[in-house]
């Protein structure tokens, strides 16, 4: 059999002409199938397009019965065409009727054709349809022909994705490029956001498919690969990878692929079929994405994801520009979509237009998560391949509470979420209406409500919620989002700005709480078996006092003439507290000696979050100016249950007697020693838990901004005398009951207390 293939380059050139002709979509499609059939010396060429309902519809044919166009349909997985669409793999068959999936559609008249070659029409790994050629005689299609047909399918993918064919769809049979997707990820920041996709790093749009000079394109590939290698080497070596949210391992793997001759050879081969360098990379990337979306083995999927990232980098290198969404031209209701992102990049966007954030990578403790929460942007992460599945402008819903993302939602889904968002907004509105009411219980006890913060972007929440001040300022956040260690003067400037913005409202600074899960990208990581129990927080501060001294000095200078409240994290013994306090005293005398104006008052406190302190509490209240209970860590260490490990984090209830008794001991000892005590862990922000804390005697709580409203609503209906009596009764009679949750919920329900 003679080689039937005409020149693939000639075919592409002809197709380009057809694409430019001013004809209707159907006519264009009809001409395309004629051009392909004649170039490939095939009797039949047909285009099947995938519809939203998951069926494939014949959109155009040369050779089959024209009556079958827009009539013949098959389900995904049905027949050979359905199989190709489902598996996103080409199929070349010398005798199609022998294939187990062969199914006969009488209206097409295709029974006389023996051989069959079909390829998926792919875009960003998603199947949009199937392109088929058929021959009457039995014949074997060559690798070259399969390759040429795949390249041709790219042109059709562009045409489908452009929406041009949508006009041909029958009512209720829309084309699947607009298919709805429900994706599940990991929740990073609460809230529901509806809007339209903005790609943080938009894909390079390859407009020029056809190359005039293949040798030139090959040289461009080589140059592009070299540039990508160089960038990755630099990123790995510079070690500031965490700034980009990229993990060193990922980069190492991408680097390995960038040196993989097989992958590069594949791209070069595709250039050989007549494509430009960009189009060739996109072709190979599309295959990779199709495999990635179907891969169920997480390890292999990750590797394909790395390859996908490499393709992206190469496309950007070839385009020779920096691709980033324009921060200035962000549309209203933007849902930002990114593979990964650094916190600084997020801060560059106009917050008032952002409704949500969707990421492929980034865990709950990542820096981007911290900033997204601080900005109150509903965020979902760990959605593999999302950046490739969307076109800019697609409707997207982010449900940050459930960890769900809806892409191109159906109208009923859209309205259900709009209702959810509306209800949330209404609730927020109700909470806002409580803003100016004093935080007084029914019997007139004043409860101090404060915010947890750590970045400048957190501070406007203080006046928005009318909080009393900042009960916990996590200073490590500034360090975590920086590219390098902030200098003493940078720290001082930030602390001064915090005080200025708070305009006299009190703030409690906590010294660096790093180590454990809080790693600084520019600091040598220490491998530890048990990082939560390891070298962290005040332990680093005391062992390497340079860092702590510099921070204390920055705080003292920033607070000159104003009140300073500072506390230390992860203190396990009174002796540790005394050593840390001595650093404050020493720095203060240094500043005095150098003529600096000292703070108007200095209070040095301690986080109570290591259980050993509960058993030194009487000594502690004698030396500390105030206590702040870190219930997150206290809970983790008391029950030996990793707060970051989802399998055990919720195994024990904070409303069970061990924690409640510990909290009571802390409160009662502080009170006996006349030492102020507050609580700044997550439980302070939950109405039922906060009610229990008030029952234990706590009158000061610090929480996230969104919790102020619900907690205030609760305490406005609470009688402290009644809850105190109830807590005493429950703790005395708890026996082996375990959690007091039901009993407390019953107490609240009986009195109409919203919890
Ligand atoms: C805590 O441990 O309860 C706390 C408030 O500190 P962090 O969550 O920063 O460890
Ligand atoms: Mg803590």
Mean pLDDT confidence for 448-460: 93
The secondary element (H helix, E strand) that includes residue 499 is helix 488-502
pLDDT score at 242? 40
Mean pLDDT confidence for 375-385: 90
pLDDT score at 357? 97
**Per-residue pLDDT tens for 497-529?**
999 999 999 999 999 998 876 777 677 777 888
Q: State yes or no: pLDDT of 393 exceeds 50.
A: yes
Task: Pick from 102-106, 265-269, 605-609 the range whose average pLDDT is largest.
Answer: 605-609
213-222, 559-568, 587-596, 733-742: which range is least confident on average?
Answer: 733-742
Q: State yes or no: pLDDT of 9 exceeds 90.
A: no
Query: For residue 680, which ligand has an atom nearest its CA?
Result: 1
646: CB partners within 8 A, 6+ apart = none
676 lines ligand 1 (CB under 6 A): no
Q: State yes or no: pLDDT of 459 exceeds 60.
A: yes
Closest ligand 1 atom, CA of 680? Answer: 5
Task: State how far the Cα of 289 lies from the Cα of 294, in Å rounded to an integer.
Answer: 9
Closest ligand 1 atom, CA of 474? Answer: 9
Of 389 and 716, more confident? 716
pLDDT score at 475? 95
**Per-residue pLDDT tens for 82-101?**
999 999 899 999 999 999 99
Of 61 and 151, more confident? 61
Evaluate whether 108 touches 48 at the Cβ level (below 8 Å): no
> What pTM did the predictor assign?
0.70
Mean pLDDT confidence for 105-133: 90
Q: State yes or no: pLDDT of 241 exceeds 60.
A: no
The secondary element (H helix, E strand) that includes residue 734 is none
How many angstroms separate the alpha carbon of residue 357 from the centre of ligand 1? Answer: 25
Mean pLDDT confidence for 708-734: 96
pLDDT-derived band at 729 (thresholds 50, 70, 90) equals very high
632 lines ligand 1 (CB under 6 A): yes
Strands, DSSP E only, in 364-490? 379-381, 395-399, 404-407, 448-453, 469-474
Catalytic residues: 367, 680
**Per-residue pLDDT tens for 302-334?**
777 777 778 888 888 887 754 445 555 788 999
- Among 727, 674, 684, 726, smallest CA distance to 705 is for 684
Nearest CA residue ID for atom 8, ligand 1: 632
How many angstroms separate the alpha carbon of residue 533 from the centre of ligand 2? Answer: 12
680 lines ligand 1 (CB under 6 A): yes
Burial class (CB in 10 A: 0-12, 13-18, 19+), 706: middle
Tell me if residue 79 falls in helix, strand or coil. Answer: helix
Mean pLDDT confidence for 214-224: 91
Q: State yes or no: pLDDT of 114 exceeds 90.
A: yes
Q: Which residues pair with 399 in a beta bridge?
A: 192, 404
Query: For residue 571, which ligand has an atom nearest its CA?
Result: 2
Of 274 and 192, more confident? 192
Of 598 and 649, more confident? 598
pLDDT score at 736? 75
Q: Which residues pair with 324 in a beta bridge?
A: none
Evaluate whether 470 touches 508 at the Cβ level (below 8 Å): yes
DSSP collapsed to 3 states, 551-589: HHHHHHHHCECCEEEEEECCCCCHHHHHHHHHHHHHHHH
**Per-residue pLDDT tens for 124-178?**
777 899 999 999 999 999 988 998 899 889 889 888 887 888 889 988 888 887 6
pLDDT-derived band at 6 (thresholds 50, 70, 90) equals low
pLDDT score at 452? 95
Evaluate whether 474 touches 374 at the Cβ level (below 8 Å): no
Evaluate whether 166 touches 52 at the Cβ level (below 8 Å): no
Which two tokens mark 207? 């407009």
The chain-wide mean pLDDT, for the chain, equals: 89
518 lines ligand 1 (CB under 6 A): no
Of 365 and 148, more confident? 148
Task: State how far the Cα of 246 lies from the Cα of 257, in Å rounded to an integer.
Answer: 16
Task: State how far the Cα of 559 lies from the Cα of 155, in Å rounded to an integer.
Answer: 65
477 lines ligand 1 (CB under 6 A): no
Mean pLDDT confidence for 490-497: 96
């Amino acid at each position: 059999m003679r080689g039937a293939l005409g020149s693939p380059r000639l075919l592409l050139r002809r197709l380009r002409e057809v694409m430019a002709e001013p004809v209707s979509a159907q006519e264009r499609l009809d001409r395309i199938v004629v051009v392909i059939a004649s170039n490939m010396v095939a009797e039949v060429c047909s285009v099947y397009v995938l519809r939203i309902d998951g069926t494939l519809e014949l959109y155009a044919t040369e050779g089959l019965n024209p009556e079958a166009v827009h009539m013949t349909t098959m389900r995904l997985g049905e027949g050979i065409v359905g199989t190709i669409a489902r598996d996103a793999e080409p199929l070349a068959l010398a005798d199609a009727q022998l294939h187990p999936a062969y199914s006969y559609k009488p209206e097409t008249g295709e029974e006389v054709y023996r051989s069959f070659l079909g390829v998926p029409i792919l875009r960003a790994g998603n199947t949009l349809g199937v392109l088929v050629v058929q021959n009457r005689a039995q014949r074997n299609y060559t690798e070259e022909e399969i390759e040429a047909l795949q390249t041709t399918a790219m042109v059709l993918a562009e045409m489908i994705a452009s929406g041009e064919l949508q006009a041909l769809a029958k009512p209720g049979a829309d084309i699947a490029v607009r298919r709805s997707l429900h994706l599940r990820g990991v929740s990073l920041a609460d809230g529901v956001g509806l809007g339209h996709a903005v790609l943080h790093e938009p894909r390079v749009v390859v407009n020029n498919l056809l190359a005039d000079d293949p040798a030139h394109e090959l040289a461009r590939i080589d140059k592009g690969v070299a540039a990508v290698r160089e960038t990755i080497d630099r990123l790995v070596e510079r070690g500031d990878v965490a700034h980009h949210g990229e993990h060193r391992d990922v980069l190492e793997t991408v680097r390995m692929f960038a040196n993989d001759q097989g992958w590069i050879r594949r791209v070069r081969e595709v250039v050989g079929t007549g494509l430009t360098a960009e189009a060739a990379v996109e072709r190979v990337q599309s295959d990779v994405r199709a495999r990635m979306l179907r891969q169920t083995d997480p390890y292999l999927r990750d590797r394909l994801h790395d390859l996908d990232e490499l393709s992206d980098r190469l496309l950007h290198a070839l385009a020779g520009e920096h691709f980033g969404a324009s921060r200035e031209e962000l549309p209203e209701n933007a849902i930002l979509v990114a593979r990964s992102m650094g916190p600084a990049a997020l801060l560059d966007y106009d917050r008032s237009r952002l409704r949500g954030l969707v990421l492929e990578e980034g865990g709950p403790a990542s820096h981007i998560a911290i900033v997204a929460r601080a900005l109150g942007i509903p965020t979902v992460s760990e959605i593999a391949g999302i950046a490739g599945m969307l076109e800019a402008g697609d409707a997207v819903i982010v449900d940050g509470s459930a960890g769900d993302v809806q892409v191109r939602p159906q109208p009923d889904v859209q309205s259900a979420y709009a209702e959810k968002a509306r209800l949330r907004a209404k609730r927020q509105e109700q909470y806002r209406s409580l803003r100016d009411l004093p935080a007084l219980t029914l019997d007139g006890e004043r409860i101090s409500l404060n915010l947890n913060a750590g970045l400048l972007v957190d501070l406007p929440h203080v006046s928005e919620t009318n909080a009393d001040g900042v009960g916990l300022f996590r200073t490590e956040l500034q360090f975590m989002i920086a590219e390098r260690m902030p200098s003493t003067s940078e720290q001082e400037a930030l602390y001064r700005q915090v005080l200025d913005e708070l305009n006299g409202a009190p703030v409690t600074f906590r010294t660096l709480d790093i180590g454990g899960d809080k790693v600084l990208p520019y600091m040598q990581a220490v491998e530890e078996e048990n990082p939560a129990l390891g070298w962290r927080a005040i332990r680093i501060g005391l062992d390497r006092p340079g860092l702590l001294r510099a921070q204390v000095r920055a705080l003292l200078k920033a607070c000159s003439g104003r009140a300073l409240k500072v506390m230390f994290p992860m203190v396990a013994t009174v002796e540790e507290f005394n050593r840390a306090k001595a650093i404050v005293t020493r720095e203060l005398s240094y500043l005095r000696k150098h003529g600096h104006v000292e703070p108007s008052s200095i209070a040095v406190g301690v986080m109570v979050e290591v259980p050993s302190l509960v058993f030194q509490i009487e000594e502690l209240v004698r030396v500390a100016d105030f206590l702040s209970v870190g219930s997150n860590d206290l809970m983790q260490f008391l029950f030996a249950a990793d707060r970051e490990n989802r399998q055990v984090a919720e195994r024990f209830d904070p409303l069970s007697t061990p924690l409640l008794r510990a909290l009571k001991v802390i409160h009662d000892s502080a009170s006996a020693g006349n030492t102020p005590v507050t609580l700044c862990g997550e439980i302070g922000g939950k109405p039922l838990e906060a009610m229990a804390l008030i029952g234990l005697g706590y009158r000061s709580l610090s929480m996230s901004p969104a919790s102020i409203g619900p907690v205030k609503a609760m305490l406005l209906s609470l009688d402290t005398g009644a809850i105190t009596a109830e807590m005493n009764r429950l703790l005395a009679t708890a026996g082996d009951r375990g959690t007091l949750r039901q009993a407390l919920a019953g107490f609240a329900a009986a009195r109409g207390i919203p919890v």
